[in-house]
Amino acid sequence: MKIAYQGEPGAFSEAAALQLKADALLVPCRSFEDVFESVKTGATGYGVLPIENSIGGSIHRNFDLLLEHEVPIVGEVELPVVHHLLAFADTTLERVRRIYSHPQALAQCDRFLRTLSGVEIIATYDTAGSAKLIADQKMQDAAAIASARAAEVFGLVPLRSSIQDYEHNVTRFIVIGHQPLSSETPDKTTIVFTLPLGPGTLFKALSVFALRGIDLTKLESRPIPNRKWEYLFYVDLAAARDELSCGRALAHLAEFAPMLRILGSYPSHKPTPAGSAERAADRRSEALA
């Protein structure tokens, strides 16, 4: 199995991919768009993409890309995220003048960053990529916010550990692909739709699910480009699209939603045995050594 993810080895997306299949061939990509293209062209069978974080919120770009590409969601995985401030062993916190990381990681560590003075905060494309940048350019006065595995991969050490704003920091990743990820029965469906302008239209839309006892686990609105103050509504349903009640609700919604698209119906996240992803990461670290 080949799985694409955004970032460098040591990225949290890599750890999420390892939860799916510990011995998968992982393909790092520069951008989220590249992950979609990799799966779309068949270069990889699946792609792993962060979609929301319990501290930083939604990764809006990936919502937009789901609509732009005809690649369905086939699974999801949740990953506890622990951020570390990484630098060279002889770098002290007082010496750090620049901190690099992905915008989401910076947002998740905002409280810690606000305790620092005289430090430039620089957003990059990836957490592990930030660690790689410091290692490659031998930056003695800089640090990166990234994972403990990124420290191992790029020869850095933590100056501070667990610097995220809240202890329980979890990122949910979606898995995209053209084939089912497993034989598990789907129990979750993601849709996107538009609504006509007018009073009560969103209430009417959501009522088609409430009347049938279908739980909405997420509701996200995104602006429609070139249509001022009009929105796309992304919804996660705690039901499979093939369930009778869900099928009827979607048919009811389609009666008045100008656009309705099912982005995927898939098994929801099930916790994996503790330490399995870490053991897989350790094996990969040994292979890189």
List the catalytic residues: 171, 173
Give the span between the Cα atoms of 248 and 232, in whole angstroms.
21
Question: Do strands 260-266 and 188-194 pair parallel, antiparallel, or not at all (unpaired)?
Answer: antiparallel
Strands of 153-288 (E only): list them. Answer: 157-161, 170-177, 188-194, 216-223, 231-237, 260-266
| Closest listed residue to residue 84, CA positions, set 161, 171, 15 | 161
Cβ contact 153:128 at 8 Å:
yes
Tell me 90's DSSP state.
T
Cβ contact 73:190 at 8 Å:
yes
| Kind and range of the H or E run holding 129 | helix 127-137
